[in-house]
Each structure stands twice: as structure tokens, then as C-alpha cells.
Structure 1
Amino acid sequence: MKIVVLGGDKRNIKLAELLKDDGCDLQVFGFDKSEVNSLIFSENLYYAIKDAKIVIGPLPCSDDNILLNTPLYSENIKIDEMFEYMTKEQIFIAGKISDEILKKSKLNNILSIDLFNREEMTVLNAIPTAEGAIQVAMEEMDITIHGSKAMILGFGRIGKVLAKMLHGIGADVYVEARNYADLAWISSYGYKPVHLDKMTDLIGEMDVVFNTIPSMIVKEEILLELKKNSLIVDLASKPGGVDFEKAKELGIKTTWALGLPGKVAPITAAGILKDTIYNIIEELGV
């Protein structure tokens, strides 16, 4: 069974290497040749896709619904062209596939599967994300995480893992949530629960704030409460959850830490991707 990996970051290169080591008929496209010296590189998009059963795209799939996300490629891959070359016998697997891209997929009778809809992927992916977030904070702060006051906005998968890690290295962990069941769990784990309505009352005490909520939550009224030497690490996918312009105006240090698994732990992230893709293949009986 031929598998082709189309674009993406270092995670997808490491994924391709793992698939090759497993004996897959593996080809790549959407990378500059210097990035993939050890892999079989297709000369053009058509031949890359031709006869492939599985087409693996980037994470995230696209930033604009027009081009695939190919940060390690000096040219572009048009999504419409990709689907034009694919047949209904092929399967497209990528991350954060937008509704618009899904519509294009359906119009071309292509089955598309979003990796971020797979629980085993998102839960395990939270681990390198949380480790990377702590690494970013350690590099940007002039105090230790141990003994610092840290607030996490949101108690989803990343929030849960991050809270556990921060608590484990001695941070005083506050976790914001709006759901009372979540607040009860937060308290049971030994963290300090913060209802959304009470966030502004406490956020001014924080040394670092980690946002995991993909909607604008850290607005001007929140930023005005923060200490000038505090740090905000936004882990939310685009459009993010922080008013970065206002934060800059107020002199508050921020960092938008996107794609951390691919940056800080590409081999681990690739292993998670590979296992998830194998699960998909097994479930579909391919």
C-alpha cells in the first residue's frame, strides 16, 4: 500500500521516516529536497498522489483553505489541485481540516479524516504541547516555575495535562473554567478553581498565564489587571485567545506558541501520528 506525505512541519518528516522504517511504500512531496534527503521524493504532485491509498496532509491542514500548510517547502500546493488528482478510492488524512476543505473533499468524493477528531491523538498530543508550554515559560520568565503563581485558562485536554505538570514542579496552580463540574474536578486535584466570572479578581496576582481557549478571552479588561512583569503563553489555535496588540501597548510580554509538538518533540509527535493513522487504517479495513 502506497502512502504519500504531503507537506507539514518536522512532525510529518519524522512520520514519513517511521512509516518507511515500518516497510511502507512511502513517498513525500511538499518539502524542499534538502529537508527529506533520506526519503523517496516525488517530482510533482500528480505522481506523488498517483496510486497512493493514503494521502497524509499537514497539521494544521491549511491556513487559508486554498493552500496546504507547507512551511518546509519553497513552493505551494493548491488544495483544489490535490483533490482534482485524487480518486474516490483514496483517503485524505490531516489535522484541523476546515469545513470549507471538507466540502471540497465531498464534492470530489474523497473521504477525509481529521486527526484532531481522534481522541487518542488529541490526548497524547497534549503531552508535548504542555511540556513545550512550560519550556517557553522557563525561557521567557526571570523566575522559576517552582513557587510561581500560574493560571491556566480552560480545562480541556491540554489544560488538564498542563495543570498536572505545573503542579508537579511546584507551581501554585490556578485553573479557570466556567463549568461547575470542571471546577469540582480542579479542586479535587489540588489546584485552585477559578470561575470565569472571578478571573479578573485573581489574574493580577499571576506570574504566568497559559491560555488554551481558542476564542478571545484575554481582552483589554483582563490585560489591565495583569502585572507588568507577567507572561502570557497562548496555546490556542488561530485566531488565538489574546489581544496581542493591546498587550504590546501595555508592555505585557506575550508569546503565541503554536504547533509546539512539532517544534519541541517531533519524534514523539510523529509516533503519536503514526499510531493514530494505523488505528484509522485498521478501522477502515484498508
Structure 2
Amino acid sequence: MLDGGSKMASFVSTFDRPRLWGMLEPPISSAPISNSRLNLSRNQALSINCDHSCLEVRDVSYKPPGTQLSLLNSVSFSLPEKSFGLIFGRSGSGKTTLLQLLAGLSQPTSGSIYIQKYGTDGNPCQSPEPLTPERVGIVFQFPERYFVADNVLDEVTFGWPRQRGDLQLKEHLSLRLQRAIKWVGLSGISLDKDPHSLSGGYKRRLALAIQLVQIPDLLILDEPLAGLDWKARADVVQLLKHLKKELTVLVVSHDLRELASLVDRSWRMEMGGFLKEESILA
């Protein structure tokens, strides 16, 4: 049996299920490119100077099909890239519903969700881009309930289409896999290990690694500390502290005290699906 390192090394030559998260280069047009078109492209590229981007949610409402009850009402907020946002509030207020809309699992009845890039002057420098499901990673409460594979490697790579790719693509996938496992602190775990045999904290790490392989624009976590003992909770908080340096993170949680030191922006969801900005004390 291969150990974790050997199995990872053999991944490039044996794995044939790459998931195409926009990693393939776009098709190259065979049409000739004129000098005027080339100069125009260069001038456009030089004129765009974007400093940062934000997740923007504007006037989002949601009414389940066939019902008259709105679960969310005119929700609006923004979250800059590489920052940590926290949504809290009573159970049943609509927090998880909002996360499902952000992840593309449901569609808003009205309103918009997009990524907006801004220049150094604070003004938009490009047209807003839709937040597509491919750009979002989501980890639900008790994610281990959704594990389906017999070992860690197969769990992380489960769902990648069976498609034979070239060596360069496989190497790219392997590097992303290694980076995700390193980010969440799973490097010391055998990739042959049964995911269900891991401790609660390591199950959360594995669930995060599954989402981080694609390096999402937005990482969403629903109650990431739920059901963990104090040591695992502290470990997950430290992990989130590291991840916010690399990604935009949005968390729904009741555990305000333990997460307060990480929070850049916070909102309370009130009953009826109304969201308002509210600071929490670290």
C-alpha cells in the first residue's frame, strides 16, 4: 500500500478524472488578427487598473415556488475579497437559505448577486460579473454526512468527470490537490484512510479541502464549529484565520465569541429574512 506522499506522487500518472473548472485554455481562433485589433486590445488592457473586487448582493428576495411566504426580503450587503464575513441570527431566520442562493443551489426571486471589481479611486472599473456556482465553495453543517468514498483521495476527487486529459492538465490538478491538502493541514494523513474514521476536526478539514481544490472566489461555511470538541474548534478557528488571507470567506454561525477575532464585517439576520449590518465585539 502506498503512503500518502507516494500516492500523491502517483496521482499525475494514474488519475483520469479531471474536473474542468475553467482550467483549459479557451479555443484559439483561426481568424487573422489585424494590427488595429491588437493595438485596441493592448490599449484596453492598459486602461483597466482594478485594485480589488467585492461580492455584491443587491435587493435579493426569495419566495419558494408555489408559496406566498418570502424567506428573504431585500437582502443587500458587500464583502471585499480576502476578508471574513459573519452572518448570525436566530434559527429559521433565513441564513442558510441565503447561503444556498450564493452557492447557486437556488435562484433569487428578485435581486442580483455578482462580483464587482473596483479601481484605486473606489469606482467600478469593469462591468459586474455574475457569481456562478463554479466560483463558490460551500461546506454545510456536519459535512461528513455527505462523504461517499472509501478513502481520502477518492473523497477529495469524487465527482471529477472521467475524461482522459494530457499530462500538463493532470500535473495542474495534482498541484491544486496538494495545495488544498496543505492549506487545511491534512498533509500528515494517509490518503488511503477512510474519511469516516477521521476525528471531527479532521473531517471538517477534509470537507474544506474538497472545496479548495478549485480555489473558489467565495468560500461559504454553515456552522463550521458545530458538534466539535474544544480542541477541534480551536483548530478550525486557526485554519479559518489562515484561509482568510487567501480567500473571501463567509460564515453562518452562532459561535460569535470564538470567531469574533476573525470578522471583518458582520450582519444579523432577523426573522422574516431581513439582514442588517451589526458589529460584534472581539
TM-score range, shorter chain: under 0.3
TM (norm. structure 1) is 0.28
Richer in helix (by share): 1
- Which structure has the higher relative contact order (CA within 8 Å, separation 6+)? 2
Richer in strand (by share): 2
TM (norm. structure 2) is 0.28
